[in-house]
Structure 1
Amino acid sequence: MLRSITVGLDGSRESRAAVEWAAREAALRDLPLRIVHVWEPVPEPMAQAPLLGAETQQHWTERIPREAAEGVALRHPGIEVSTEQVSGHPGEALAEAAGNAELLVLGSRGLGGIGGFMVGSVGLSAVAHCERPVVLVRALETAADEHEQDPAGVPSAATPFRPVVLGLDTRHADETLIGFAFEAARHRATSLHVVHGWNPPPYYAYGTPANPALHEALALGEAEAMAQVLRPWREKYPDVEVVEQSRYGSPAVLVVEAARAASLVVVGRRVRRSPFGAHIGHVTHAALHHSTAPVAVVPHG
């Protein structure tokens, strides 16, 4: 059975942008699209109000996904589209609904004139608990935003895709995360820009005076470690151009900077079975809130 591209829809502008992005991704991957609408039960006193009765609720909960599916079918006639309604807390329900999905797509509000996302509680909950990759899409995301500029200087869906950016921690490199990024670049027929930020260990940074030769040696070592991690992936994906960027500095800052010219940013989330709940690392947190491109969060061990 083929996995689907699953997208959460609540009728908002953000979620409609997510549906459109998910439809394009389904076309790239030749997978079906599944639109999931989560109905959160209304408290009993409110449910009894004339405007919030059972018939009214049923009308809107059925109309929203149906109209979205009809729109996708018109704009993307080659995609198999289905809809599903589930009830419960949206974040938890979406994470559960994505259990058999290739990935889950959700919408996030853009920060107006400031680049980046405003990730709500539903998005953060889904990212933290979903066992499949989760992609956050800005409300104003369009197909042209993912592509390079045309000769007139305007992004166009007819031009090549912008690069895919992967934030990589060479000390905890995971095959699931790297494989997702290479596949995303392959589907888009674009390059993969791998970003690795590093800082000297404390005993180097604070225990010795500034030493250019030492800094250069550390930089060479970090670059070589990155090359070793990526070498087998270059061989596996010979058609994907790989640009390696190993730089001194904050990994979070470097990933956010690289996102400005990306079609997709790929970051990881380590799955931790902890009584204190799920944890999202600082690099992923920064990408979710400040990336100007869609962000894919890939859970891994």
Structure 2
Amino acid sequence: MNQVRNRIVAAVGADDVDSLLHFAADEAVRTGADLHLVHVMTMPPSLPEAYVVAYEGARELGTSILEDAKRTATKLVAGQVAVTSELVDHGAGTVSDLVERSADARLVVLQHRHLSGLRRVASGSTTYGVAARAHTSVVSVPEGWRPPEQPHGRVTVGVHDPERADDALRVGFELARERRATLHVVHAWWLANGYDAVVVGDDMRREFSDRFHRELAPHVDELAAEFADVEVEIQVFHAQSAAALTKASEGSDLIVLGRRHPTLPIGSHLGSVARAVIRFAACPVVVVETAR
């Protein structure tokens, strides 16, 4: 990960954030980065006079949320790194405020909650929005996740197009080295016309696998020489990408994904595969900033 930015920003919400704090504290201790907790108030800063009391009450609640989170984080890091906190009460909006704070961060950590209906849309929009626009890598930690007593020893990188995978691969190598884990590169393909069951056979699967290995080799070989202590394994699946990566998350410590190029003129920089994996993965998902 970025060695110059030596601060991890963790977005503390109003709900239970134990999973987020466990991941962020573990990552801070592992890398020696300070841990900065941020709570963004969602009430509008300009309210009629009659609502001033409600606003002050919300500010007190935000302060209390941060204090509780800071106590927990301080215990988790056990004095090995500094823990600071910040209440944002007159910001530009949750996503914009967190994106702004990502500029000098090594990593931004959010917790993805398992919600349904409108609550899921609201929660997801924050995670997806920050992951799509942040100036550094973003980690989405599933609600209920805890560091396993025995790590899987595997960091999985999802690669669709090898020509656009260099950033995600480098972060994957760095994370695998930090964890003394194997780097697992996964590519999945599925015919868009829906005729897979009819036209796809062993020969086609072998052809697609061989082609991907050839196209990926120049990108992996250079990094493998730099990270000679990291074991690499490459797998190609005939499956839909989100399903293959979600399945891989069950045996991985991290899933690493790249986001779309930031200069795309329209649409989200976070693709449908990344959104699905963030929603369903069993382990934390790292969304990597794309080089401009």
Q: Which residue of 1 aligns with 2:282?
A: 292
Structure-2 residue corresponding to 1:60: 61
Structure 1 counterpart of 2:23, one-letter code = W
Q: Give 2:72's aligned residue.
A: 71
Please give the residue correspondences for 1:156-171 in structure 2 after superposition, counting only pairs within 5 Å. Answer: 156=149, 159-171=150-162
- CA distance, structure 2, for counterparts of residue 280 and residue 210 of structure 1: 29
8 Å CA contact 1:173–1:229 kept in 2: the answer is no
> Aligned ranges for residues 32-181 of structure 1 at < 5 Å?
32-42=34-44, 48-49=50-51, 52-54=54-56, 56-77=57-78, 78-86=80-88, 87-110=91-114, 120-144=124-148, 156=149, 159-181=150-172
What amino acid is aligned across from residue 228 of structure 1 in structure 2?
P
Q: What is the match of residue 17 of structure 1?
A: 19
Q: How far does residue 11 in structure 1 lie from its aligned partner after superposition?
A: 2.8
CA shift in 2, pair 1:225/1:199, >3 Å: farther
Contact 1:4 1:103 in 2 (8 A): yes
Paired with 2:158 and 2:280, the residues of 1 have a C-alpha distance of 14
2-structure distance, mates of 1:71, 1:126: 24
State the Cα distance separating 1:160 from its structure 2 match: 3.9
1:201 and 1:110 mapped to 2: Cα distance?
A: 29
CA distance 1:80–1:252, change in 2 (3 Å): same
Contact 1:108/1:118 (8 A) holds in 2? no
Gaps of 5+ in 2: none
Equivalent in the alignment of 1:147: none
Indicate how the Cα distance of structure 1 residues 160 and 106 shifts in structure 2: closer, same or farther if over 3 A, else same: closer
Change beyond 3 A, Cα 1:221–1:124: closer
Find out whether 1:248 has 2:238 as its counterpart: yes
Shift of 1:279: 2.9
Q: Partner of 1:271: helix, strand, or coil?
A: coil
Which amino acid in the other structure matches residue 104 of structure 1?
V
Deviation of residue 210 (structure 1)? 6.8
Aligned length: 279
| Matching of residues 210-221 of structure 1 within 5 Å | 213=203, 215-221=205-211
Cα distance, 1:290–1:53 mapped onto 2, change above 3 Å:
closer
Judging changes above 3 Å, is the alpha-carbon distance between structure 1 residues 210 and 254 closer, same or farther for their aligned structure 2 residues? closer
**How much does 1:130 deviate?**
1.3
Offset of 1:180 from its aligned partner? 0.8
Distance in structure 2 (CA, Å) of the matches to 1:284 and 1:242: 22
The letter of the residue matching 1:22 is A
Distance 2:87 2:237 in 1: 46
2:142, 2:281 within 8 Å by CA — same for their partners in 1? no
Q: Which residue of 1 aligns with 2:181?
A: 190
Which letter does structure 1 place at the counterpart of 2:128? L
Change (3 A) 1:222 1:62: same
Supply the distance in 2 between the matched residues of 1:39 and 1:105 (Cα, whole angstroms): 17
Shift of 1:285: 2.0
Read off the aligned partner of 1:195 and give its amino acid letter: V
Distance 1:67 1:210, change over 3 A: closer
**Bigger mean CA deviation after superposition, 119-128 or 273-282:** 273-282
| Structure 1 pair 271–248 and aligned structure 2 pair: CA distance change class (3 A) | same
Q: Distance in 2 between matches of 1:47 and 1:138?
A: 39
For 1:42 and 1:210, locate their aligned partners in 2 and report how far apart those are by CA, in whole Å: 55
TM-score normalized with structure 1 length? 0.81
Distance in 2, matches of 1:36 and 1:103, equals 13
- Percent same amino acid at aligned positions? 24
Q: Distance in 1 between matches of 2:266 and 2:206?
A: 40
Change beyond 3 A, Cα 1:118–1:142: farther
Asked if 1 retains the 8 angstrom alpha-carbon contact of 2:10 and 2:38, the reply is: yes
In the TM superposition, residue 44 of structure 1 has moved relative to its aligned partner by 5.3
Letter in 2 for 1:187: E
> Contact between 1:108 and 1:139, CA under 8 Å: does it hold in 2?
yes
